[in-house]
Structure 1
Amino acid sequence: MDIPPPAAGEELSPSLALVNTRFRLPGGPYEALAEPSAARAWLTERGLVPAGPALGPAQAARLRDLREALRALFAARIGGTAPDPGRVAAVNAALAGCPPLRVLDWTAGDPARILRTAPSRPVDQALALLADDGIGLLTGEHADRLAACGTPGCTRLMIRSHAARRWCSTRCGNRVRAARHAASHTP
């Protein structure tokens, strides 16, 4: 299966990267978190949980549930519609499971304000950090640039780097341009 590169803005927002773990490919749906081992690998690759024991099916399901809640809220923001209160409650519940704390870190060099979570289970910490990032994306400086990919059939979301950006990746842009070219050369 040919997986596209990360969508624009995923490097800025782990919650956007989470939302984009489920999407449609030309050959059908893609689910990056179908198995608990894949969910663990995704969290570990992003530094959200330490390497260690496998996630259980219930923990992987909680991650997928948070993803769907965030996807619905991002879609509401993009569409300018009212969010589903249940989805708002789901994000707030993830955050309440392990509230993040902003703390001062001044171990070397200049002081820095960093985000930490209160001690708890690693998955609770990861979900809280993802929920907090999602809230930041919905309310922060990138909120107005959150957009859906303009390629027909693509379900990924992105943060537009400029107003003219319409595609989540160069791959999607190339697909649209190739289709346009083929249509213009069809008798």
Structure 2
Amino acid sequence: MNAAERSTSAQGPAPGEAEHHSLALVNTEFELPGGPYEGLPDAAAAGGWLRERGLGPVGAVAQAELEQLRALRTAVRALFSAHIAGEHPERQTLECFNAALAAAPGVHELDWSATGPRLAVRRQARTQIASVLSELAEEGADLLTGPSAAKLSACGAQGCTRLFIRSHAARRWCSDRCGNRVRAARHYADRERGRGRK
């Protein structure tokens, strides 16, 4: 396990990842002061990540499917980052994202359980990965257009590029670890300034 992997396991999931698969996908790749982190390094890891989130195949995904998942991750990060910055995303980013949305259109069907009728969406796709990518894209679109969109934030710790959902207005960091790192750096800088005045 390298330094970045150790840092990631210590960081834990960013706020909002449990509720938003698309945010968790974005945070499978980021920078930390200790170096870059790649949570989908190969097809087996991608299959495991999808399985852990209840989204995908039992085993490894194919190499081409891994590349599709990484491409969607890049597009979702770009869309989330554009939203946070109040900017317009690039056309190619929207095209990639919308292609994933369109890959597995949802078909409404009536489901009847012990609690009564409910409207469900059944995915129809040529491949399982197309269905998974479509589900991730749809969830990302819901995040961008829903009530959590205003709380979507980038970590304020220098060197960290993870995104998260703020649980309160004052929150600026994706984890306690990043917050502690920022506070320690401020304390050190204040102490050094104090020494310079003597």
Q: Distance in 1 between matches of 2:117 and 2:178?
A: 41
Partner residue, 1:98 = 104
Whether the 8 Å contact between 1:100 and 1:128 is mirrored in structure 2 is no
The alpha-carbon deviation at position 88 of structure 1 amounts to 0.6
CA contact (8 A) 1:49 1:126 kept: yes
Partner of 2:3: none
SS of 1:181 mapped into structure 2: helix
Identify if the C-alpha distance between structure 1 residues 176 and 121 changes in structure 2 by more than 3 Å, giving closer, same or farther: same
Give the greater-gyration-radius structure (CA). Answer: 2
Ranges in structure 1 where 5+ consecutive residues have no aligned partner: none
Counterparts in 2 of 1:179 and 1:112: CA distance versus 1, 3 Å: farther
Choose the corresponding residue for 1:47, options 28, 41, 54.
54
When the two structures are superposed, what TM-score results if normalisation uses the length of structure 1? 0.92
Q: Write out per-residue CA displacement over residues 36-61 of structure 1, whole angstroms, 9 at most, x where no aligned residue.
A: 11111111110111414x21111101
Matched, 1:88 2:85: no
Distance across 2 between alignment mates of 1:45 and 1:19:
15
Instruction: Provide the aligned C-alpha RMSD in A.
Output: 1.6
After superposition, residues 99-178 of structure 1 pair within 5 angstroms as: 99-178=105-184
In 2, Cα distance between the equivalents of 1:14 and 1:102?
Answer: 22
Q: What is the deviation of 1:112? A: 4.3
The percent of aligned pairs where both chains have the same amino acid is 53
Contact 1:16/1:157, CA 8 A, preserved across alignment: yes
What is the number of equivalent residue pairs in this alignment? 186
Q: Which runs of 5+ in 2 are unaligned?
A: 1-5
Q: 2: CA distance between counterparts of 1:92 and 1:119?
A: 15
- What is the Cα deviation at residue 175 of structure 1? 1.1
Note the C-alpha offset of 1:24. Answer: 1.1
